[in-house]
Amino acid sequence: MECFYLCHGLENRERFKNLKKKFKAGVIQFDVKNHQININLDTAFGYLEGLASENACLAVLPEMFSCSFDNENLSKHSKFTEKIVKRLCLFAKEKKIAIVGTLPEEEKDKIYNTMFFIDVDGKIKGRYRKLHLFRLTGEHLYYSAGNKIVSVDTGFGRIGLMTCYDLRFPELARTLFLQGAEMIVVCAQWPEPRKEHWETLIRARSIENQLFMVCSNRTGTDDQLHFPGMSMIVDPMGNILARKGNDDGFASAGIDMGKVEESRAKIPCGKDRRQEIYG
């Protein structure tokens, strides 16, 4: 499996381009404690260790996994972000596992909900600032929205980046598809009352773009808002390969990136698009 080559530091994609890219991906979920960075990091790294011990090559963490939406103290929390990312980079390099998660990032007195994609070599391959801010919980009052759609070239192929509320915007997923994404990763804090939407939207984004979705959601309760977990991995035909319940922990599944090309050849939606009509 190509996972062998990825996880042993060989980065020459051309050399192995004829191999099917097969590897294990995992989604992590836990009750992200408001404000309590040390507790959250201990939990996150504990589950990362668990996935690494199962030879997973990709792990996705929940949204704002270090401090949750402790919005009144974001500037304070953002000062720890660089140190946290460095620790993630060292872990990724040592364990040969790519890591994805979002953290508060401050720049020029603005706070962003920023996703970091750290590849198996321990290098940051992409930064994505959440485009769509969820007004119902006042995110627009504390965060600035990003203005760039991001897909990254990794050892696994091209991967698109999305955060939580972004799932409701098919234009974003379609743009990532047009950029050549074979997988989209999602970090979220998606609440219990709309858990059916969570699964439906993940499967819809997968089916309509014929790619893998690897999506992490948190558990627990924050300010009387409950979170269901339900982290999941979905294949390019919308089949659920792995799904976690509402308890803390992780779920994993084998990924065969060859299924992307296979599904797109079987039902050639990309070739049959009518861009000249859509405008």
Element (H, E) at 184: strand 183-188
Of 24, 130, 244, 259, catalytic = 130
CA distance 217 to 272: 34
Of 57, 67, 164, 187, catalytic = 164
Element (H, E) at 179: none
Nearest Cα to 104, choosing from 118, 132, 84, 134?
84
Name residue 194's amino acid: R
- DSSP per-residue codes, 190-258: --GGGHHHHHHHHHHHHHHHTSEEEEEE-EEEETTEEEE---EEE-TTS-EEEE--SSSEEEEEEEETH
Q: Is 148 a catalytic residue?
A: no
Q: Is 24 a catalytic residue?
A: no
Which residues neighbour 147 within 8 Å (Cβ) at sequence distance 6 or greater?
129, 131
Q: Is 89 a catalytic residue?
A: no
Name residue 212's amino acid: F
Residue found under tokens 């009052």 = 141
Element (H, E) at 247: none
Of 3, 22, 63, 182, catalytic = 63
Measured on CA atoms in the order 110, 108, 72, 125, is the torsion positive or negative? positive
Which residues neighbour 186 within 8 Å (Cβ) at sequence distance 6 or greater?
60, 162, 163, 164, 166, 167, 202, 213, 214, 215, 216
Give catalytic residue positions. Answer: 63, 130, 164
